[in-house]
Amino acid sequence: MPDVTASGTGTRRRARLLWAVAALAYAVDLGTKLAVVAKLEGRTTVSVLGDWLVLRVQRNPGAAFGMGEATTIVFTLIATAVAVVVIRYSRRLASAPWAVALGLLLGGALGNLTDRVFRAPGDFQGAVVDFISVRDFSVMNLADWAITCGCALALVLSFRGSPTDETAAAAPDDSVASGARGA
């Protein structure tokens, strides 16, 4: 019989990790956006690595690569849904790597959601502040990077077969069970 007390403590610890990663990602994103808007908006680009990486403030009402500018409210709803799902899922995380992955997703989603809710033109249709311009690619912000890294980590964990929640972690492995039956 599994030790419920130890499992509950581990789950709470992983949930705290998720919240800490989300808070850090959110704070760094919000802080950089505030600084960039205050110091760089309306000015010329700032070269970081030649013309490969520059800082350039750009307001983006759409999604990645400027797609969907007329459907800003849809991205607001998607970010809200992601945040709700991650928050609900945080109560049954199976591993610290999943806590980090989902924390990055939550922090990034909340970072861009904050822009959508509070930046002009308002009414849940605000434009996201992007400022990291990678040559011949896109202009992004740190929330986008957090989301990208969280998704990449989630993909790696999924391909490795790492269980996402305690229910899946506690379930017997089908390959082991079928091998035991064949013996």
Q: Residues with catalytic annotation? A: 130, 144
CA-closest candidate to residue 65, choices 152, 147, 144, 146: 144
Residue 19: alpha-carbon gap to chain centroid: 12
CA-closest candidate to residue 142, choices 23, 33, 22, 3: 33
Tokens 């499992």 correspond to what residue? Answer: 7
Residues 6 or more apart whose CB falls under 8 angstroms from that of 78 comprise: none
